[in-house]
Amino acid sequence: MSNNLELDFALHEAQAIIHSSDARFKVVAAGRRFGKSYLACITLLLEGLKDEHVGILSGKNYNLSLKEVYYVAPTFEQAKKIMWPLLKELGGSVIKSTHENTATCTLVNGRRISIKGADRPDTLRGVGLSYVVLDEFAFMKEEVWEKIIRPALSDVEGKALFIGTPEGKNHFYELFNDAMRIGLPEWEAFQFKSIDNPTLAKSEINAAKDSMSTENFRQEYEASFTEGGGKVFKEEWWQLVEEAPGYGDYVIAIDLAGFIQEGIGRKGVLKIRDEHAIAVVYAGTWGWFVEDIIHGQWDVRRTALEIVGAYRDYRPIAVGIEKGMAKNAVMPYLEDEMKRLNVYFTPHELTHGNKNKADRIKWSLQGRAEKGRIFLKKDAPWLRQFIEQANDFPSSLAHDDLIDAVSYADQLASTVYFNEEESIHNGWAPLDEIAGF
């Protein structure tokens, strides 16, 4: 703040984590009653009281005296109802004047904070901004950010706070994922549940949980980006265990996301491709034990290294890679890594089997899961993501990389018709495990 101006406020721990971040663009998914409006109001006042700031990318010092600060909600009426009374209450000591009709206040340093609605895009144009809060961004048209707000921040490297509760897997979900994954200093993502607000009674949250559907509760109170999908899989079908329940063999099935040129897109964020997923499945007559799913956004050389590393660690009876351009791209690098590490195998070519992806995944996994024949590694770092993808399947808005990779194990896992311990005692073992003789 400038001119020794002071603002008296207190943030709870989760709010303070967001506030203390130096990221230029903060994307916050938070449950109901987390304290989003309070945090937004304090942020607006603190940013408005600045006379200058330093650009994160350039290091240049910018004069902000002619720049405005905006609070934008889906509609002007909603924005004014949520923020205007709170802004006047918390900012009373630093507000010089207010204009009720336009919901604009002038601070004691001469800078203005304006309340706006995304439903009136013309009122957002033509003004240079130093900071903007986009509240409930999931309910706005993404063009408001792309075409209006983002350009208005450019001349002083202005900042933005996206904050809201998820609404399915729309553009807010995509922005959150981009901010979470890209790992650049400009962007940071945060996700907090309603319970992270220590002033909110647990009894109130428990009452909501008892009266709401699981999906709605997760979205509204746990800030989960749920989609619902087609209800192909039920969460209780998945068996969570520490280790495989019987004897079997390892197979490794690989779903490649493709290798594309990354860059700054029209949305002002680095667009990230889907993840590569390497599913390590231990299969036997009792079913499948998904021991590991190695996944990430890697370049082609790192992908080859991850594949060879998985083979070296688990020594599967088969490795399969989805047929296509991505497989063709990775093979030369895979051969290089095998030579370098002295680990050799011949990948099988996995196919769609004349089915579309949704039908193939459903055919491979649904029956096994419903009958309790798919076991997942308990407490694995990928477990929650796998279950969420299964819950959302087959929504076109949701990712399915992990469940897709596991589904390909169907083309690799051989049914085992003999017991290894018995074969040791009687001296018999099958010549062909697939045929069983």
State the average pLDDT for the chain: 86
Q: Are residues 250 and 205 in the same domain?
A: no
pLDDT for position 422: 39
Angle at 63 between CA 57 and CA 67, to 5 degrees: 95
74-114 tens-digit pLDDT: 999 999 999 999 999 999 999 999 999 999 999 999 999 99
Tens digits of per-residue pLDDT, 338-394?
999 999 999 999 987 767 888 889 889 999 999 999 999 999 999 989 998 898 888
Q: Do residues 118 and 260 share a domain?
A: no
CA distances from 202 to 190, 199, 216, 221, 325 (A): 22, 9, 18, 12, 52
Same domain, 100 and 240: no
Q: Which of 188, 218, 248 is the last residue of a domain?
A: 218
At residue 296, the pLDDT reads: 92
Domain annotation covers residue 34:
yes
Residue 189 lies in a domain: yes
- Predicted local distance difference test score (pLDDT) of residue 305: 96
Structurally, how many domains does the chain consist of? 2
| Nearest C-alpha neighbor of 334 from the set 325, 323, 322, 346 | 346
Tokens of 231: 């209800």
What pLDDT shows up at residue 19?
A: 95
- Do 282 and 391 fall within a single domain? yes
Q: Residue 223: inside a domain, yes or no?
A: no
DSSP at 35: S
What is the pLDDT, as a whole number, of residue 115? 95
Residue 302 maps to which CATH number? 3.30.420.240
Average pLDDT over residues 225-240: 78
- Is there a domain that residue 204 lies in? yes
Q: Give the range of the structural domain holding residue 398, as residue numbers without chain letter.
A: 235-411
- Residue 5 backbone phi and psi in degrees, to 5: -70, 145
- Of 167, 184, 218, the one marking the end of a domain is 218
pLDDT band at 49 (very low <50, low <70, confident <90, very high): very high
According to the model, what pLDDT value does residue 232 have? 83
CA distance 15 to 35: 8
Answer whether residue 64 shows pLDDT above 90. Answer: yes
Shared-domain flag, residues 120 and 242? no
Please name every residue paired with 71 in a beta bridge, in sequence order, or none if there are none: 115, 133
Task: Tell me the mean pLDDT in the region 243-267.
Answer: 76
**Other C-beta atoms within 10 Å of 169: how many?**
22
pLDDT at 8 over 60: yes
CB 233 within 8 A of CB 184: no
pLDDT of 323 reads 87
Among residues of the chain, what percentage have pLDDT more than 90? 61
Say if CB 205 and CB 198 are below 8 A apart.
no
In a domain, 291, yes or no: yes
The residue with greater pLDDT, 52 or 169, is: 52
Tokens of 290: 């998904």
Predicted local confidence at residue 183, as pLDDT: 57
Do 261 and 306 belong together in one domain?
A: yes
306 residue type, one letter: E
224 domain residue, yes or no: no
Span 264-304, pLDDT tens digits: 443 444 344 578 999 999 999 999 999 999 999 899 999 99
Average pLDDT over residues 196-204: 91
Binned at pLDDT 50, 70 and 90, residue 2 comes out as very low
* Residue 427, pLDDT above cutoff 60: no
* pLDDT > 70: percent of the chain: 87
The dihedral sign for the CA sequence 384, 386, 390, 396 = positive
Distances 303 to 253, 270, 277, 292, 337 between C-alpha atoms, Å: 13, 20, 10, 16, 10
pLDDT tens digits for range 406-419: 999 999 985 443 44
pLDDT of residue 7: 74
CATH number of residue 103's parent domain = 3.40.50.300
Do both 264 and 391 map to the same domain? yes
pLDDT for the residue 6: 67
Residues 153 and 45 in one domain: yes
Residue 239 lies in a domain: yes
Q: Domain check: are 179 and 71 in the same one? A: yes
- Do 124 and 250 lie in one domain? The reply is no
What pLDDT is stored for residue 414 in this prediction? 58
Give the per-residue pLDDT at 426: 44
Tokens of 90: 């918390």
At residue 28, φ and ψ (nearest 5 deg) are: -120, 120
In a domain, 2, yes or no: no
For residue 412, the one-letter residue type is L
| The pLDDT of residue 420 is above 70 | no
Query: Are 153 and 269 in a shared domain?
Result: no
The enclosing H or E element of 288 equals: strand 287-296
Instruction: Answer yes or no: are the C-beta atoms of 110 and 116 closer than 8 Å.
Output: no
> What distances in angstroms separate CA 156 from CA 64, 149, 166, one per listed residue?
8, 13, 30
Q: What number of residues does the chain have?
A: 437
Mean pLDDT, rounded, for 49-70: 92
133 plus 272 within the same structural domain: no
CA–CA separation, 99 and 104 (whole Å)? 5
User: 421 pLDDT band (50/70/90 cuts)?
Assistant: very low
